[in-house]
Structures are given as structure tokens and as C-alpha cells.
Amino acid sequence: MASITIRNLDDEVKDLLRQLAAENDRSMEEQARVMIRAAVEGQLGSAGRIDQIEQTLRELASARGLAPVVAGKIMPRGLSSKRILLIIGGGIAAYKALDLIRRLRERGAAVRVVMTSAAQEFVTTLSVGALSADHVFTDLFDRNDEHDVGHIRLSREADLLVVAPATADLMAKLANGHANDLASTVLVATDKPVLMAPAMNPRMWAHPATRRNRATLQKDGIAFVGPARGEMAESNEAGEGRMAEPLEIVAAIEALLDVGPRPLSGRKIIVTSGPTHEPIDPVRYIANRSSGKQGHAIAAALARLGADVHLVSGPVGIADPAGVKTIHVERAQEMRDAVEQLLPADAAVFVAAVADWRTENSADEKIKKVAGEGPPVLRMVENPDILAGVGHHSQRPGLVIGFAAETQDLLRNAEAKLKKKGADLIVANDVSQGSGVGPSGVMGGDRNRVRIVSKAGVEEWPEMSKDEVAARLAALIAERLKTIVV
Ligand code: CTP
């Protein structure tokens, strides 16, 4: 097979390619292959493909907080000139700290790292040092170390201290003011804001001592991101205690440091996410499949662009996004009430997989199996259509966006929903088993391939991560709202 080498690639394209490759865990060559394939197959639109690719690059750059091109190079703006002191605690999640360093540096931050001795059992100072491009600090008393800058300087020469993973032990130490190693001493000595990303076994997280320590730390002004609910790295363990994903931690850092381009500042946006649970009795319910990953990612991406985001979330196993006001609901009617109470707003994005029906009367007591009577007959009634209600509301937001998860006739169904529900845009995705998206499909997975359906036509986006879809949609919303005057 003939092979090609691309020379003289523009610096801006090279920079973006590098970032996209890192985010998708691909080599740059593989990333280029995916993008070229998408362009050739016309996934970026049949008309004006080159324009479309350039537009895509611009949207991605703006969504990522990259400044306009300066002297042929995209200059990172998000966290440039910010100094982060990252404290890595000893837990399996320490491996995610490596990715966190990469994400921070991509955004222009200088990252200095302190590792506890337990952390060094999970990741090496060698890999941490290679990624942070700095000396890694481990010892409180190391007068022979030519890099020794002292714990006071370490703790003060940063704009923000981030503890990831924050173990039960590190939380306990800081809550009680202990300072017996470099990490705990730096935390007690600092006069800078501190963000903790806890990660521990669900039982440790639920322990009254850990709860007490967390409450104390919050009272002391320590910020938290996560933990999330889900599978733990240890086998057969699940529950609340999984460390927030690196991009969620980055979002929390950006929110704390109040940086990044904010084209949506002053805009109020409502987002619905996750499933709804419609009770049959106190222990059983009807629900749609939904992880909440796409909706939560959209809420976080909008908040990163400065929007005042109100997320109405059904029951999900992931953490509330940083910088977003989250309202937790269970049932469709509660979701509708919460959304309507939030009106007026500039925009609303309906990502939730709302159960279409509920039982007419849910039982107050658990329905028992009675010998000889057979299964109960459930009478169902229709739930309110929240999107349609807002799409035709007297206080309708200027921009209303719905989702259409379909397993067949994707475009026809999406176009019908656009009209029927009074939406400006429908983000259509194929959630069928055979969609070919990601290793585990769209539902519950981390990847998505969507089409944006509007009166003006259909725009196809290539397959990308749900975070990427969220960033592009947030950029699109910012663009659209520019033309809507309040
Ligand atoms: N939606 C909503 N309230 C409902 C049902 C759906 O707000 N009771 C919103 C969803 O959040 C999504 C859009 O409507 O933005 C389309 O949802 P979907 O489940 O695909 O469509 P349905 O209207 O339920 O139609 P069908 O089940 O027939 O496909």
C-alpha cells in the first residue's frame, strides 16, 4: 500500500492535531487518518469541505479556550501563566493524575508535582517528571537535594493547589492540621486555594470519619470535585468513590481560577440530563437507559464558556459537573416542574432520556407476588413532554435544542421532532446496537456521532468523544446566541 508523508503542515493544524490525538488516545498519524477519512466520506458536509474543516478547527479552538492564531500558531489562553501545584496521593487513581498533568500543560499551565510516598507505589516520579517537565518533590527534609525549594515556597509559588487523588488519609490530615510529610505540610502552609479530587473505596468514602473530614474541609474553604459513582479500579467494587475524570478536574480548576474565554457570560442556560425513574412501587421503577454523560458534559462545557448553567438531572452515577447548579430529580413531572421554574432563560438544551410513560397510580407498598393471581396489570399514562412544553411556552428561551436518540429512520424522526416540539435544533444520534460508535455503543459509552438538524438542513459531525461533542455544541450555542439580542 502506498504511504504518504505530509510536510509543511501549518503550526495551528499541528497543534490541534496533537491535542485531538492526545484526547482520543491516538497517535497523531491515526488522528490524521480518522480526520482525512471523515472528510473523504463527506462526514464534514458535502459542500465546501475545506471551509467546513477550517470552521471545525476554529470551533474546536474556541471551545478549548485557544486564542486566535498569533503569528501562525494558536496560542493557548485557558491556563497560560497559571501555576498549579499538584499533590498526588497514594491510590489506584494516581494513574489518572498523569493524564491530568497532560491536560493542564496543553492548556498552558505550569505544573509542579508533590508525590506522597504511597503515591510512588502507584506511579513513578520518572513518568510524572517527564510529563510535568519539572523536578518532582517527594521529601520534607532533603537538604542535599539541589532542587529543594522548601515547603513554604512550594506552597506559595502556585496559583492553586490540587490534590488528585485525595485519599482518605490526606483529607484526614488536612482536616486535623497534621503536617508530617511534604504533601501535608505544603497543604497546611499554603495561603492559596485548594481543590481536592477524592478517590477511595466506597466504604471509606461513606465512613462517618471521612464525611466529618469532608465537612470540616468544606467549612475551611477547600473546594471539591467528585467523587463519582461507578465501577472502581479494584475488581468487584462499585459505588461512590471514583475520582472525577481529568477533564472534569480541569473544568473545576478553570472555574476556580476564573479563566478562559467567556462568550456565554451573562447567559442563563437550562440543561436536562440522565434518565427519569417512574415508580411502580417503592422498590421498582420504569426508566430509559441513560448514563447522563452527554448531558453533564454539555452542562460543563457551557459553564466553561461562562454560562450560568442550571442542570436538571435524573438519577445518574456520575458526579455533578463543576461550576454548574445541579438540581436532582427522579420523575418526569419533577423534571418538568424544575425546568419551568427556571424560566425565563436564554437557552435550554434537553438531553434527558425522559420516560414517556408512568404508571397511573404507583403503589405505596411493595407489590407482593400472590400465589395464583399472576403478575399485576400496570395502567400507564403519558408523561409531560418537557421539551415540547418549553418549545411552545410563553417564556420560550431564544434557543431551544432537543436530542433525538433513534434506532431507525434517524433523520426523518429528528425532522419530525424539530417541528412537533418547537425546537430550533435537534441533535440526532443513532443509538442502535449496530451504530458502530465506540467499543460499547453510544448509550453508556464515551463516544458519540451526531447530526445537527435544523430548518436550514442537516450538518454531520464525525465520531468524537462526548466531551468533544459537548465542546462543539457549546461553541455552536455561543455562536447562535451572539445573534439573539436580549
Ligand atoms: N423529551 C422531553 N420530555 C419527554 C420526552 C422527550 O423533554 N417526555 C425530550 C428529550 O430530552 C429529547 C427530545 O425530547 O430532547 C426527544 O426525545 P426522544 O425520547 O427521542 O423522543 P420522544 O418524544 O420520546 O419520541 P419517541 O419516544 O417516540 O421517539
Q: Which residue from 272, 385, 451 has its CB within 8 A of the most atoms of ligand 1, so it is best to mutate?
A: 385
Residue 67: per-residue pLDDT: 42
Answer yes or no: is the C-beta of 273 below 6 A from any ligand 1 atom. no
User: What is residue 129's predicted lDDT score, i.e. its pLDDT?
Assistant: 93
- Average pLDDT value for the chain: 85
Q: How far is the CA of 452 from the centre of ligand 1 (A)?
A: 16
Q: Regarding predicted confidence, which is higher, 141 or 460?
A: 460
Measuring from atom 21 of ligand 1, which residue has the nearest CA?
Answer: 404
Give per-residue pLDDT as tens, 248-305.
899 889 878 877 668 898 999 999 999 999 999 999 999 998 999 999 999 999 998 8
Q: Kindly tell me if the per-residue pLDDT of 456 is higher than 60.
A: yes
pLDDT level of residue 72 (50, 70, 90 thresholds) = very low
* The predicted structure's pLDDT at residue 408: 83
Query: How many angstroms is it from 404 CA to the middle of ligand 1?
Result: 7
Percent of the chain residues topping a pLDDT of 90: 55
What's the gap in Å between 391 CA and the centre of ligand 1? 12
Q: Give distance in angstroms: CA of 325 to centre of ligand 1.
A: 23
pLDDT at 73 over 50: no
User: What are 331-378's pLDDT values in tens digits?
Assistant: 999 999 999 999 999 999 999 999 999 999 889 999 999 888 889 999
pLDDT at 71 over 50: no
352 lines ligand 1 (CB under 6 A): yes
Ligand 1: which of 354, 358, 392, 451 to mutate, most ligand atoms within 8 Å of CB?
354
Cα–Cα dist 112/128, whole Å: 10
Average pLDDT over residues 98-103: 95
417 assigned to a ligand binding site: yes
Q: Choosing from 24, 201, 288, 413, which is the catalytic residue?
A: 288
Other beta carbons within 10 Å of 453: 23
288 is catalytic: yes
Least Cα distance to 414 among 381, 452, 443, 461 occurs for: 452
Quote the pLDDT of residue 98: 96
Q: Which residue, by CA, sits nearest to atom 24 of ligand 1? A: 356
Reported confidence tier of residue 139, pLDDT bands at 50, 70, 90: confident
Q: Is the CB of 404 under 6 A from ligand 1?
A: yes
Other beta carbons less than 10 A from residue 467's beta carbon? 23
The candidate with the shortest Cα–Cα distance to 450, out of 440, 439, 435, is 435
User: Residue 406's pLDDT is what?
Assistant: 84
C-alpha cell at 418: 424539530
151-170 per-position pLDDT tens digit: 788 888 899 999 999 999 99
pLDDT value of position 467: 84
Residue 482 is assigned to a ligand binding site: no
Give the pLDDT band (50/70/90) at residue 57: low
- The residue ranking higher by pLDDT, 125 or 482, is 125
**Ligand 1 geometric centre to CA of 388 (Å):** 9
Residues 127-136 have pLDDT tens digits of 999 999 989 9
Confidence check: pLDDT of 147 > 70:
no
Residue 24: per-residue pLDDT: 72
Instruction: Report CA(311)–ligand 1 centroid distance (Å).
Output: 17
Average pLDDT value for residue range 457-462 = 88
> Could you read off the pLDDT of 246-262 as tens digits, one per residue?
988 998 898 788 776 68
Residue among 294, 335, 336, 350 to mutate when testing ligand 1 (max atoms within 8 A of CB): 350
Confidence (pLDDT) at 8? 67
**Ligand 1 centre and the CA of 420: distance in Å?**
11
Torsion of CA 427, 433, 439, 442, to 10 degrees: 20
Residue 387 in marked binding region: yes
Question: What is the number of residues in the chain?
Answer: 486
pLDDT at 126 over 90: yes
User: Order of strands across the sheet with 457-460?
Assistant: 325-328, 308-313, 268-273, 347-350, 399-406, 425-430, 450-454, 457-460
For residue 299, the CA-to-ligand 1 centroid distance in Å is: 19
From 417, 420, 443, give the residue whose CB has the most ligand 1 atoms within 8 Å, as the site to mutate.
417
Q: Which atom of ligand 1 is nearest to the CA of 355?
A: 8
From the CB of residue 383, how many other CB atoms can be counted at a distance below 10 Å? 18
pLDDT at position 436: 60
Parallel, antiparallel or unpaired: strands 457-460 and 450-454 = antiparallel
Minimal-distance CA residue to ligand 1 atom 19: 353
Q: CA-CA distance, 258 to 260, in Å (whole number)?
A: 7
User: What is residue 235's predicted lDDT score, i.e. its pLDDT?
Assistant: 62
Q: Is 417 in the pocket of ligand 1 (CB under 6 A)?
A: yes
Query: Do the annotations mark residue 356 as ligand-binding?
Result: yes
Structural domains of the chain, with CATH:
83-257 (3.40.50.1950), 268-359+381-482 (3.40.50.10300)
Please check the confidence at residue 37 and state whether its pLDDT lies above 60: yes
Q: Is the pLDDT of residue 380 over 70?
A: yes
Q: What is the pLDDT of residue 410?
A: 85
Q: pLDDT band at 43, cuts 50/70/90?
A: low
Is residue 44 over pLDDT 70?
A: no
Instruction: State yes or no: pLDDT of 107 exceeds 50.
Output: yes
Q: Would you say 385 is a known binding-site residue?
A: yes
Sign of CA dihedral 389, 392, 397, 402: positive
Q: From the alpha carbon of 405, which atom of ligand 1 is closest? A: 20
Residue closest by Cα to atom 16 of ligand 1: 404
pLDDT attached to residue 74: 41
Query: Rounded to the nearest 10 degrees, what angle do helices 246-257 and 94-106 cross at?
Result: 50
Predicted local confidence at residue 152, as pLDDT: 80
Any ligand 1 atom below 6 A from CB of 242: no
For residue 401 and ligand 1, the question of a CB distance below 6 A is answered with: no
The pLDDT tens digits for 406-420 are: 888 888 999 999 999
For ligand 1, whether the C-beta of 359 sits within 6 Å is no
- Which of 466, 485, 486 minimizes the C-alpha distance to 474? 466
pLDDT at 306 over 70: yes
